[in-house]
Amino acid sequence: MQNEELKRARQELEESRNKYLELYEFSPIGYFTLDKQGAILEVNLSGAALLGVERGSLVRRRFQLFVETDLRPDFNSFCNRMFGSDVKQTCELRLVKNDASPLYAYLEGIAMRDGEGNVKQCQIAVVDITKRKHAEEEQVRLKDELFHARNLASVGKLAGGVAHNFNNLLTVVMGYASLLATELKEDDPLREYAQKIIHSSQIAANLTQDLLAFSRKKPLNLQPVNMNKIIEDTEGILSKLLRENIKLGTALSDKDCVVMADSHQIMHVLMNLATNARDAMPNGGELKICTDSVGMDDVFIKAHGFGETGKYVLISISDTGVGMDGRTRLRVFEPFFTTKEVGRGTGLGLASVYGLVKQHNGYIEVESEAGNGTTFRIYLPLVTPRVSGIKTEAESMPKGGTETILLAEDEDDVRSLMKIALERNGYEVIEAVDGKEAVDKFVRDEDKIKFLLFDVIMPAKSGRQAYDEIKKIKPDLKAPVLFMTGYSDDVVRKGNIIDSGLDYILKPVSPIRLLEKVREVLDR
């Protein structure tokens, strides 16, 4: 009887031992026993699997050989704390597996004493926390991108307001310079000065357009266009922008690459990116432009942190230049941010690219490393192939007229300039400083007034409000209206001007362009 009980007890003990060994060997936690020199004395199968090494070859190897070089002092500190205390010690380290891939690990260790109380070994539990670390890093990245996006949006609003003020000022400068130029004879030396003012004002006007593009408020003429055709049409211009030691190549997809876009503005995007690439390759290199048709699904959106599900045309612009570090890459779309020396860049090129892509309901991302070149990827929504070309019309000098024009503009200098330009071309002008006065003067001279020229945003009453009130006063109004604004296209849309089919013109506008538009609307 006693023999049977002893046999059963031994069997239960063996079963218990086997269960313990199974739990020890196949636990998701790696267990390592180290001596005071950090050599591995014992390791379970899970521990060996974590490091990607056969268990037998791990014995007597130093554990710190699997710790990233720059983190080994942290591991040594962890070991010193263990051997100097009876309390469990913890740390997080980045280990390097046998195949050189990284392993984020949580370590928990405690010293082991022998029968005489001497510390000769320690036991360390190693937990793989790679997934958790990647999730934390992704969360930090998304927070940074969210902060960056909000920052860009705030600066965009400021940029739009600044552009409006500039547009009014430039209308005055360009206008009076144009009037001065027409008064001077061809051989008058002062005529050259006037032309220089006009030229410099045009450069300033282009800067305001870049500001409006960044703020995503630059007016667009959206048409279904083939992205490959735009690139082909722009290739010659891009070649002239680049130096002889830079090779330009294209790889255009044979798939449908039709998008709703403003062809001229997309060309502007390509030229800005090509210029940026050129400056990044002072010693020459290669610039390559590729297109493809891709789909965005939930996996793509989660991985990239942007997008809506659907089909897109992907335009990739890659260079072999100096590249940029992570800090620069995060700020690359900020207005006025530039790595170029003073006087060589405005810091608006890539900001305007960002704004135009967003205005096309697209997305843009940049991939770059210092010394390894840069790739910009633009995603524009794919549409059904119904392509429109770019229309061009020959410009002609405006003819004058004798009609009476009611001019409503709250900026005194702009109003005075327009009055002079119109009167010089034969028109009679009645001035109003705001929308309310425009209505009052229309009531006084309604039979005489044949044309309404109204600024959109004015005190007392806006241009659209004044026009609507005049329509109520005279429902059979035949005098056409032309709205003008130094604000963005959004302001025109919010005023329900475009949807109503009403005419408008954007500042800065030269006297010639204004006279052309007035005559065009009158003769329609």
Q: What pLDDT shows up at residue 345?
A: 45
Unique residue bearing structure tokens 């913890």: 90
183-192 tens-digit pLDDT: 888 888 888 8
Amino acid identity at 470 = I
| Tokens 């990233």 -> residue | 68
pLDDT value of residue 214? 52
pLDDT at 396: 40
Distance CA 444, CA 218 (A): 38
Q: What is the pLDDT of residue 212?
A: 60
CA 175 from centroid of its chain's CA atoms: 35
Tens place of pLDDT per residue across the chain (524 aa)? 566 766 676 776 666 666 666 677 778 899 999 999 999 999 999 999 999 999 889 989 999 999 999 999 999 999 999 998 889 999 999 999 998 899 999 999 999 988 788 888 999 999 999 999 888 888 887 777 677 666 656 665 666 666 667 788 888 888 888 888 888 888 888 888 888 888 778 767 766 665 565 555 555 667 899 999 999 988 887 888 888 899 999 999 998 899 999 887 888 889 889 988 998 999 999 999 999 999 999 889 888 888 999 999 999 999 999 998 888 888 888 765 565 553 444 445 688 888 889 989 999 999 998 989 999 999 999 997 654 443 433 334 478 899 999 999 998 989 999 999 999 999 999 999 999 999 999 999 999 999 999 998 888 899 999 999 999 999 999 899 999 987 655 555 556 776 778 888 888 888 888 999 999 999 98
Q: How many CB atoms lie within 10 A of CB 395?
A: 9
Which two structure tokens, joined as six digits, stand for 34?
């180290």
Q: How far apart are CA 360 and CA 352, in angstroms?
A: 12
Continuous segment of H or E residues that includes residue 194: helix 189-214
Beta bridge mates, 374: 319, 368
Superfamily of domain 223-381: Histidine kinase-like ATPase, C-terminal domain (3.30.565.10)
| CATH class (in words) of the domain with range 404-523 | alpha beta
Q: Is 191 in contact with 182 (CB distance < 8 Å)?
A: no
| Whole-number Å distance between alpha carbons of 310 and 297 | 7
Strand partners, 494: none
Rounded to whole angstroms, the Cα distance separating 175 from 416 reads 10
**Distance (Å, rounded) from C-alpha 484 to C-alpha 497?**
11
Q: Read out DSSP for 100-151? A: S-EEEEEEEEEEEE-TTS-EEEEEEEEEE-HHHHHHHHHHHHHHHHHHHHHH
Q: Are 485 and 512 in contact (CB under 8 A)?
A: no
pLDDT at 77: 94
Query: Is the peptide bond between 508 and the residue preceding it cis, with omega within 30 degrees of 0?
Result: yes
Give the pLDDT of residue 493. Answer: 59
Q: Which of 111, 74, 76, 109 is nearest to 90 (CA)?
A: 109
CB atoms within 10 A of CB 341: 7
The full DSSP string for 325-347 is: -HHHHHHTTSTT---SPTTS--S
Distance CA 524, CA 506 (A): 20
Cβ atoms 319, 329 nearer than 8 A: no
The burial class, CB within 10 Å (0-12 / 13-18 / 19+), for 191 is middle
**Is the CB of residue 109 less than 8 Å from the CB of residue 89?**
yes
Whole-angstrom CA distances from 355 to 59, 98, 261, 341, 488 are 60, 46, 13, 24, 13
And the tokens for 452? 């309404």
For residue 515, the 8-state DSSP code is H
Within 13 A of 243's CA, how many CA atoms are on the CB side?
Answer: 12
Whole-number pLDDT of residue 388: 46
pLDDT at 389: 43
Q: How far apart are CA 223 and CA 212, in angstroms?
A: 20
3-class DSSP state of 56: helix
Measured in whole angstroms, the distance separating CA 507 from the mean position of its chain's CA atoms is: 26
- How many residues can be counted in the chain? 524
- What would the DSSP string read from start to end of 198-253? HHHHHHHHHHHHHHHHHTT-S----EEEEHHHHHHHHHHHHHHHS-TTEEEEEE--
Residue 82 CA to residue 108 CA, distance in Å, equals: 9
Just give the CATH number of 14-128: 3.30.450.20
- Residue corresponding to tokens 């269960």: 19
Query: Which tokens belong to 285?
Result: 């290199």
CA-nearest of 333, 310, 313 to 253 is 313
